[in-house]
Amino acid sequence: MVCIYETNMSKTLKELTAGPNAPCAYYYIASVNVAGRCFPSPIDVKDEFSLKGDITVKENGKSISGSELLEKAVRKMERILNARKYLERLLQDLTNTWRAILVGLVCSMMLALAWIVLIRYMAGLMVWTGILGVLAILIASTVFSWYKYVSLAGVAGADEGLGLSRKISYYTGRRKTWLILGILSTTCLSILVLVILCLRERVRIATALIKEAAKAIAHMPTALLFPVFPYILELMVLLFSAMVALLLMSLAPSSAGGIDITMYTNKSGDKSIPYFDKCVQSLGGYSKFNNKTCSISEDATGSHVNYSHMYNLFGFFWLSGFIVAFGEMTLATAIASYYWTRDKNEIPTITVGTAMWTTVRYHMGTLAFGSLIISIVAFIRAIIMFIESRLKKYENEVTKMVLRIFGCFCWCLENFLKFVNRNAYIMTGIYGENFCTSARRAFLLLMRNIVRVVVVDKVTDFLLLASKLVVVGVTTVAGYYVFSGSSEVLNQYIPELNYPLFPVFLLALGSYVIATCFFDVYSMAVDTLFLCFLEDCERHDGSRERPYFMSKELMLILKKKESPSTSETRQTQSTEAKSD
């Protein structure tokens, strides 16, 4: 019996369960404990439903027997119940492992910070360590995957398809698992080897840019913590948009109509009880209505709700894009101020705060306009995807192909605009001009140096990605060791799990987000320094009248030279700064 606390159990069963305010439930459903809450236990729907006799009904213009219709309904209900069963088990695993996952995320954050500190002092070593580390992991993964794929040939059950299982051995015993891993590992390994062989010299330039970015961030350590602020704002926007979408979905879709009032009114015109029995209580049910009873009228709110959903989706795209642009503009302004300052010791520690205030005070319109352009393209792409999903049940291949082409075009256009916007924000941080002028200036500058942009910028992105993957890989491997039950010492703290790979996946996802949060600062710093470097090369020639702002290491790698008098002046300024 389920009762509220402090119930007097000496009363009879009828007294405890009678009335709307009874202290005990009149009945309750068999439940299981999930995260301290009661969830209904799964039932076998095949044992609960049966059909007496048989009927024939119309479905989409085709005749179908009642037994077939019931079987289809049972299968759909089983899928729903099985999904709920899996969800309950996943929630149980999350309840049992959330503390360990939290510890793993803290460790991944410390590992990312340690990697960043090492880059500051050993940029070349850490970059090549990341590359060789990823290379070693891919070689080991490739060899082991193909070895397992070959060794499982002829083993009973190894050639069966993949499904969902609670045991890791289910996946490791299938050849298809190792085939997929082998193909992915081989492809990634081939790409990495080609990059190392063909772009070795460009890696040196990218390493110098990363080292310069590390120096810039060392002068403004708050830059590493700044991305947390935009991430929180993006999460708030996501939650708000999801709440609005749920509220819109909860609106009543229909109203009643087609009532023969003479049948359900008395002499005074008041509606009688049969009116409510026939119409109100059956509204939305499965009864067959006719003109003399209740019918479902045209949806009066459907169009307005659909428009509201579209408005909410567009607002989500615009707000989230605006927040991303705000973060990029703030970091670009801070890093640009570092590059164009000759005496780096004069950089204040609150540079990021000053850049944030400058962005809020002068450049909000630039951010709104840039994010609006991207949100329009993203919204059009979302509409195309929605239409394509609705047309899946039809056989018009030409229409599907046209929609896919338009969707691909919108995806390419969206990514191109993101690239242009990012560099426009950097130019705005340098010159303080409006969006259109900054975008034009940045685009022309990049086009004049297109080869260097494509090679150096993308190699730098790849090097930062390799560092990010090292952090995620180490955290994921450690998480697999902990949650798979391989350690007898840790098993006493972590109970047996339904799906051991689930917490490993959550840990990998969380560590990737944390690593992205830190290394995206480096990515923005490198992009800003690279654009500043290109502008520096075009505006200055190294003479005493127009000296370079870049560091000596960058000049050495890029084969830029200063006049002797300029070098002496730079050296004198450096000596005076150290003495101060």
- The total of other beta-carbon atoms located within 10 Å of residue 482's CB is 23
Q: 436, 412, 410, 406: which is closest to 424 by C-alpha? A: 436
Q: What is the pLDDT of residue 380?
A: 92
- 305 has pLDDT over 60: yes
- The model's pLDDT over 391-420, given as tens digits with 9 standing for 90+, comes to 776 767 787 788 888 888 988 998 899 999
Q: 24, 17, 22: which is closest to 3 by C-alpha? A: 24
Note whether 235 and 205 are same-domain residues: no
The residue out of 82, 105, 137 marking a domain boundary is 82
Note whether 35 and 147 are same-domain residues: no
Q: What is the pLDDT of residue 425?
A: 93
Q: What is the pLDDT of residue 569?
A: 56
- List the single range of 95-109, 359-373, 393-407, 482-496 with lowest mean pLDDT: 482-496
Q: What are phi and psi of 38, to 5 degrees?
A: -90, 125
First to last CA, the chain: 80
DSSP 274-314: HHIIIIITTTTSSPPP-TTS-EE---SSHHHHHHHHHHHHH
Q: What is the pLDDT of residue 63?
A: 61
Note whether 362 and 328 are same-domain residues: yes
Mean pLDDT for the stretch of residues 479-492: 72
Note whether 108 and 164 are same-domain residues: yes
- 551 has pLDDT over 90: no
Note whether 20 and 113 are same-domain residues: no
Q: How far apart are CA 3 and CA 15, in angstroms?
A: 12
Note whether 423 and 465 are same-domain residues: no
Q: What is the pLDDT of residue 321?
A: 92
Q: How far apart are CA 174 and CA 158, in angstroms?
A: 4
Q: Indicate the pTM of the whole model.
A: 0.68
Note whether 241 and 377 are same-domain residues: yes
Do the domain assignments include residue 328? Answer: yes
- 24 has pLDDT over 60: yes
Q: How confident is the model at residue 290 (pLDDT cuts 50, 70, 90)?
A: very low
Q: How far apart are CA 74 and CA 48, in angstroms?
A: 10
> What is the percent of the chain where pLDDT is above 90?
14
Q: Which of 30-44, 71-85, 275-289, 290-304 has the highest mean pLDDT?
A: 71-85
| CA dist list (Å): 257 to 251, 253, 277, 278, 294 | 18, 13, 15, 12, 6
| Count of structural domains, the chain | 4
- 60 has pLDDT over 70: no
Do the domain assignments include residue 159? Answer: yes
Torsion of Cα atoms, 497 then 500 then 504 then 509, to 10°: -90
- Reading the block at residue 552, the tokens are 């000596």
Do the domain assignments include residue 434? Answer: no
Q: How confident is the model at residue 91 (pLDDT cuts 50, 70, 90)?
A: confident
- 65 has pLDDT over 70: no
Instruction: Map tokens 């009678």 to a residue.
Output: 18
DSSP 51-90: -SS--EEEETTEEEEHHHHHHHHHHHHHHHHHHHHHHHHH
- List the single range of 288-302, 345-359, 566-580 with lowest mean pLDDT: 288-302
DSSP 98-160: HHHHHHHHHHHHHHHHHHHHHHHH-HHHHHHHHHHHHHHHHHHHHHHHHHHHHHTTT-TTTTS
Q: Which residue has the higher pLDDT, 77 or 390?
A: 390
Do the domain assignments include residue 332? Answer: yes
Note whether 237 and 381 are same-domain residues: yes
Question: 547 and 569 in contact (C-beta within 8 Å)?
Answer: yes
Q: 320, 326, 322: which is closest to 359 by C-alpha? A: 326
Q: What is the pLDDT of residue 377?
A: 92
Q: How confident is the model at residue 277 (pLDDT cuts 50, 70, 90)?
A: very low
Q: How far apart are CA 117 and CA 122, in angstroms?
A: 9
Q: How confident is the model at residue 541 (pLDDT cuts 50, 70, 90)?
A: confident
Question: 362 and 432 in contact (C-beta within 8 Å)?
Answer: yes
- 325 has pLDDT over 80: yes
- 568 has pLDDT over 60: no
Q: How confident is the model at residue 533 (pLDDT cuts 50, 70, 90)?
A: confident
The residue out of 82, 107, 133 marking a domain boundary is 82
Q: How confident is the model at residue 384 (pLDDT cuts 50, 70, 90)?
A: confident
Q: How confident is the model at residue 438 (pLDDT cuts 50, 70, 90)?
A: very high
Q: 326, 339, 369: which is closest to 527 by C-alpha? A: 339
Q: How confident is the model at residue 268 (pLDDT cuts 50, 70, 90)?
A: very low
- 316 has pLDDT over 70: yes
Do the domain assignments include residue 442? Answer: no
Q: What is the pLDDT of residue 563?
A: 62
- 270 has pLDDT over 50: no
DSSP 13-66: HHHHH-STT-SB-S----EEEETTEEEEPP--GGGT---SS--EEEETTEEEEH
Question: 189 and 139 in contact (C-beta within 8 Å)?
Answer: yes
Note whether 289 and 249 are same-domain residues: no
Torsion of Cα atoms, 267 then 269 then 270 then 274, to 10°: 70
The residue out of 296, 328, 348 marking a domain boundary is 296
SS3 494: coil
- 361 has pLDDT over 50: yes
- List the single range of 70-74, 154-158, 571-575 with lowest mean pLDDT: 571-575
Q: Which of 75-79, 366-370, 507-511 has the highest mean pLDDT?
A: 366-370
Mean pLDDT for the stretch of residues 339-367: 86
| CA dist list (Å): 16 to 4, 28, 38, 431 | 11, 14, 21, 77
Helix intervals (H) in 340-434: 351-362, 364-390, 397-431
- 84 has pLDDT over 90: no
Q: Is 428 exposed, middle or buried (0-12, 13-18, 19+ CB in 10 A)?
A: buried
Q: Which domain holds residue 529?
A: 88-224+452-579
Q: Which residue has the higher pLDDT, 479 or 259?
A: 479
Note whether 238 and 355 are same-domain residues: yes
Do the domain assignments include residue 441? Answer: no
Q: What is the pLDDT of residue 311?
A: 92
Do the domain assignments include residue 445? Answer: no
Note whether 77 and 125 are same-domain residues: no
- 50 has pLDDT over 80: no
Note whether 353 and 419 are same-domain residues: yes
Look over the chain and give the mean of its residue pLDDT values, rounded to a whole number: 76
> What is the percent of the chain where pLDDT is above 70?
73
